[in-house]
Structure 1
Amino acid sequence: MLLQLPTETLCLISAQLENQHNRLHLASSCRRLYTALHRTIFVEVKLCAYRPGVPVPEIRQVSQFLYTIVRNPDLASVVQVLDLCSWQTKTTCDNHGYPSDIDFDRDIMERLVREASSDSKRQVTWIKDLECGITDAWLALMIPRLNNLRKISFIWSIQADYVYGMLIDAAKAETPVFPHLEEAWAAPRDTEGWSETELMLPFFNFPAMRKLGGHMLYDGWEWTEEENQRNPWGLPVEIGCSNVTDIDLRMSCANDGLQTWIRSCKALKTFRYSHGGATVAYEPSNHRRLYEALLLHKTTLQAVSISEDEYGIDPEENENFFLGSFADFTNLKTLHAPCTGIVEQEEGRPTQSLVDILPPSLELLSLFYHDMELLVWLLEECELLLDSNVCPKLGTICIRHCGLNETEIAHKVENLKLRCEDAGVSLRNFHSDSRDEMEYWDSVWPFDHDFDQ
C-alpha cells in the first residue's frame, strides 16, 4: 500500500519523521522509497536533540549522515537547510556520560581531520574526541562539507568549542567555505539562560549572508574605537564589512546596544529587537548606543522594531532608554517603538511632537507607552499627525496598550478611529503581548524565516 502512493505523498510522509536518522532508514528500506526520497530528504536536514539524562542517539544520526555525504559527495551539495538542535560537547559528556557503540571508521575520520587541521597536536585530540563520540567534534567535520547550504539554525550547547572553532576558521578562509549561506538563526539550549551574540560573529564574514536572527542572546562585549577591528578570537569585525541586511533578535539583551552586529553591516534594511527582561538577564538595553549604530543605516533602513519587556526595568531607571528622532531615516516604512524612546521629555511630559520626529516615507507606525497620561498624549498626537500630512504614505497606525476601558480614553480612541477612516488610514489596537499582536507582526514584518517557530 505504501509503495503505491505518489512520490509527492511519500515525500510528505518522510517530512513528518522527527529526525534525519529515521528518514534515512525509511529511504533505505527498499528500492522504490530510495528512488523517491534519497535526494529530497537531503534538501532540509534536521539533526540532534540532546537532553541531559535522556538517551538520544544523536551521535548515530550525525555519524551516519557524515559517512553518507563523505561516501556520496554529490548528496552534500543537495543540502540547503540545516537545523541543529542542541548536541553533546566535551563538557556535557563529562557531566552526563559518554555514548557507547560508536560507528568509528578510523581511516575516514583520520583523513577528514588531516584535511581540517594541519596542527598535529590538535589532530590527536580531535581523533580521540571523535572516537569517544563527542557530537561537537563530528559536527565540526560535517558542516563545512555542505557547500551549497542556504540556511542554518543552531541551538547552542555548552562550550561547543569544535563547532565554534570551525566557524571562525571558515570566516577567516580566503576561499569561501559557505559561498551560498544566506540566513542563520541561534538560540541557547537552556531556556533559563542565554548565549552570547559573539557566537554569531563569524556569519558576518560569509559573502552571501543576508539575514541573521536569534532568541535569548546576550550582547555584553563592549565596542570601543580602539578594539573595533578584532574581537577576543582574532576575528575581523570591521565597520561595514558584512552584506547582512536583516537582523531579528527576540527575547534578548542589548546591554551594549548591539554595536558590533549593527556596525558590521554595510546597509541594513530591517532591524527588530525585543528585550527578554529577567528571563535573559536583569540588565537594561542600551538604546542610546543602539540608536547611534542604527544612524549609520538611516538611508537604507526600511523597518525598525524595538520592544521592551513591560515587566522588566522601569524606563525611568534606565539612563540609556531614549533612542532619538527618526526624521532623518529617509527610507523608513515601518516603525515600532516606545513613545518614551523616541520623544524627548521633561519631568515625565513630552516636549516634542510626533510630526517633528517621523519621516515622510513612513507607512506603518506602531507605538506603545508606559503610563495612561502618555496614552492620552499619544491619541491626540496621532490626530495631529493625520492633520499635518507629514507622512503622506501612512496607511496604518497601531497602538499597543494595557487597557482602554476608561470612558474618556475610550471616547478619544473612537474619535481617532473616525479620523483615521476619513484619512484612509487603518487603526489597530493591540493589548500588550497578545496573540493578535504577535500574529499581526509576523504577517507584516519583512524578515521571512521559520527557524523560530
Structure 2
Amino acid sequence: MERLPTELLYHIGQYSREEEPPFRTLWALSLCSWRFYHVFKPLLYSEIRITYDGYRIPLHDVDLIIRLWHDAELAKRVHRLDIHWQGCGSSDLSKFEDESKIVAFINSALDEIFGSNAPLYRTRDKWEHHLQARCQEAWAGILLVRLSHLRRLFVKYDNSDLIVDILRKAAQRQQPFDRTLPFPYLTEVTASAHSRLHWIESDLLTSFFYFPAVRRVNVFAVAETAAPESLVVKHDSLPVRVLVVSNAVYCRGMLDWLAASARLEQVTLKIAVHPTDDYWDMPSNERFHASRFRQALLPCAKTLRSLRLEGACSYKVVWYNEDRDEDEEAAFGSFKEFANLQTLIVRYHFLLAPPSADDKMPLLAILPASLESLGITDIESEDYLNLVAELLRLVRHGPDLFPRLNEVHLFVIDMCEGPLDALRTGFDLAGIGLTVELQQEEDWEHNDVSSDGENPFLDVEVQMVGPS
C-alpha cells in the first residue's frame, strides 16, 4: 500500500470511515506509517462524536478537545460534530489524573470565552465547576468555540444549562466571537431529545437562527419556550431557509424562530401532545393555533415554496375525544398571500373550517395560484361530504384559477368509496392526478432522530410525500 498514489489512499480512507464502528479501520491504517497518518489525518478529524456514556466525559475525549483547542489548523478539519449529553453529576470534582495540567487549560479557555468581566464571574464559576467535574456538556461547549469550519452539528440532550451560554454569545457576536463571524460554514443543525419520552426546550436552538450560514434546522420533540431576554441581536443575518420540526409540544407556533427567519423556503411542523401531559391543562397561549402560526409566517410569504402542517398521533387523539372542551380547531386561513407556494400538505381541520363556522372560506378562495401539489391529511368519514364538494369545485375551476396544479393526495382515516368515485371522475376529466391512501400512523416512540438525521419526517423535501 505504501506505493499507492496519495489520491487512491485518500479514497480508501473515505470508504473506510463509513464502517461500523466508524473510523476503526481508518485509525488502524493511520498508525501504520507517518505517510499514512498524514494522508488520513484530514479524514480522521473530519467528524467528532462525543456521545453520552455515563455522567462524565472520558479522558480520551478531554485530551482530544485540548488538542483541537491548541491546534487551530487541526480544528479547521472538523466539519461535523455529534454531541450527546444527559446531566453530569457535577458534585464529584477533580477526577483528572493530571489535575494541574487540566486546571491550567480550563482557566485559559474560560479567560478567552468570558474574560475578566465582573458580571460574568458567576457564569464563569459555573463553567469551571462543571469542567472540573468532567461534565460532557461543558467540555462539548469548550470544543464548539474552536470549530471555526464546522458544517453540520447534531445535538441530543434532555436539558441544557451551559452550551446555551456559548450560543447566545455567538448570536450576539460577543467575546470570543467579536472579531470574526461565528461558525461561518455551519449550514445544518439537527437536535433531538436524548430519551424518547423527554423533550428539549427551544431557547437553546434560537441562537442558530442568527448564525450567518445556517440554512436548515431539524428538530424532534421540542417544547417551545420564550426567547431569553438576554438574547438581544443587533444584526440581520436571518439565513435559515428550511425549518423542520417534528413532535412540537407546548407549541405556540415557533414564533421566535419564525421572527428570525424572513426568507424561509420550506417549513414542516408536526404538532404533538406529550404522552405524559393533559392537553386541556395547558394554558391557551401554549397550545398551537393555526391562525397565529399563519401571522408569524407571513413575512416569508414571497419566499415560501413548501409548507407541511400536520398533527402527530398524540395530537389527533386529543381531538378525537368526544369530551373535548372545544368543538373544532381554528383553520389556518388563506394561503393566497403565499404567492410562490408550490407544495402544501396540511391537516384537514387546519385547511377547512367546519361548514357551520362564521368565518368559513371555500377552498377556491384560500389556495394560491402557484400551487402545484396539494396533500390533505387526517380526513375522517364525517369530513367527506364537505371535502368532496370543495374538491369538485376545485377541479371544475382549477385550469383557470390554478393552472399549475397537477396532483392532489388525500390521506384518509376511513376509506369511503362512494364519495371517492365521483371525485375520481371529476379529477380525470380535469386532467389532475388524484391519489387516496389510508393514513399510516406512527407512535411517538418511532419518530426519534438518529445521529445521522435519518428520520423520514426530517428528510421531507419539496416533493409530495405521505404522512409519517
For 1:204, the aligned partner's letter is F
Q: CA RMSD in A?
A: 3.5
Report the alpha carbon displacement of residue 184 of structure 1 after superposing the two structures with TM. 1.4
**CA distance 1:47–1:3, shift in 2 (3 Å):** farther
- SS of residue in 1 equivalent to 2:364: helix
**1:199 aligned partner:** 204
For 1:314, the aligned partner's letter is W
Residue of 26, 29, 37 corresponding to 2:28: 26
Identity %: 20
- SS of residue in 2 equivalent to 1:39: helix
**2:268 aligned partner:** 272
Report the alpha carbon displacement of residue 252 of structure 1 after superposing the two structures with TM. 1.0
Report the alpha carbon displacement of residue 142 of structure 1 after superposing the two structures with TM. 0.8
**1:357 aligned partner:** 366
Between the two proteins, the alignment pairs up a number of residues equal to 423
- SS of residue in 1 equivalent to 2:205: helix
- SS of residue in 1 equivalent to 2:52: coil
CA contact (8 A) 2:57 2:134 kept: no
For 2:155, the aligned partner's letter is F
CA contact (8 A) 1:212 1:244 kept: yes
**CA distance 1:207–1:50, shift in 2 (3 Å):** same
CA contact (8 A) 1:355 1:385 kept: yes
**1:374 aligned partner:** 383
C-alpha distance in 1 between matches for 2:374 and 2:382: 20
For 2:205, the aligned partner's letter is M
CA contact (8 A) 2:158 2:199 kept: no
Tell me which of the two structures has the higher relative contact order, counting C-alpha pairs closer than 8 angstroms and 6 or more residues apart: 2
**CA distance 1:24–1:108, shift in 2 (3 Å):** farther
CA contact (8 A) 1:50 1:88 kept: no
Scaled by the length of structure 1, what TM-score is found? 0.81
Correspondence 1:97-246 to 2 at 5 A: 100=95, 105-106=101-102, 107-119=104-116, 121=121, 123=124, 126-158=127-159, 160-173=160-173, 174=178, 175-221=180-226, 231-236=227-232, 242-246=238-242
For 1:63, the aligned partner's letter is V
Report the alpha carbon displacement of residue 103 of structure 1 after superposing the two structures with TM. 6.0
**CA distance 1:185–1:9, shift in 2 (3 Å):** same
Unaligned runs of 5+ in 1: 222-230, 448-452
**1:227 aligned partner:** none
**1:445 aligned partner:** 461
**1:66 aligned partner:** 65
**2:337 aligned partner:** 328
**CA distance 1:243–1:11, shift in 2 (3 Å):** closer
C-alpha distance in 1 between matches for 2:37 and 2:46: 15
Scaled by the length of structure 2, what TM-score is found? 0.79
- SS of residue in 1 equivalent to 2:17: helix
**1:262 aligned partner:** 258
Report the alpha carbon displacement of residue 147 of structure 1 after superposing the two structures with TM. 0.6
- SS of residue in 2 equivalent to 1:427: strand
**CA distance 1:317–1:334, shift in 2 (3 Å):** farther
C-alpha distance in 1 between matches for 2:105 and 2:357: 68
**1:402 aligned partner:** 413
Unaligned runs of 5+ in 2: 280-286, 448-454
C-alpha distance in 1 between matches for 2:28 and 2:90: 30
C-alpha distance in 1 between matches for 2:200 and 2:128: 28
Report the alpha carbon displacement of residue 165 of structure 1 after superposing the two structures with TM. 0.8
C-alpha distance in 1 between matches for 2:225 and 2:105: 40
Report the alpha carbon displacement of residue 302 of structure 1 after superposing the two structures with TM. 0.9
**CA distance 1:128–1:353, shift in 2 (3 Å):** closer
C-alpha distance in 2 between matches for 1:395 and 1:115: 57
For 2:423, the aligned partner's letter is L
C-alpha distance in 1 between matches for 2:27 and 2:95: 20
**CA distance 1:256–1:136, shift in 2 (3 Å):** same
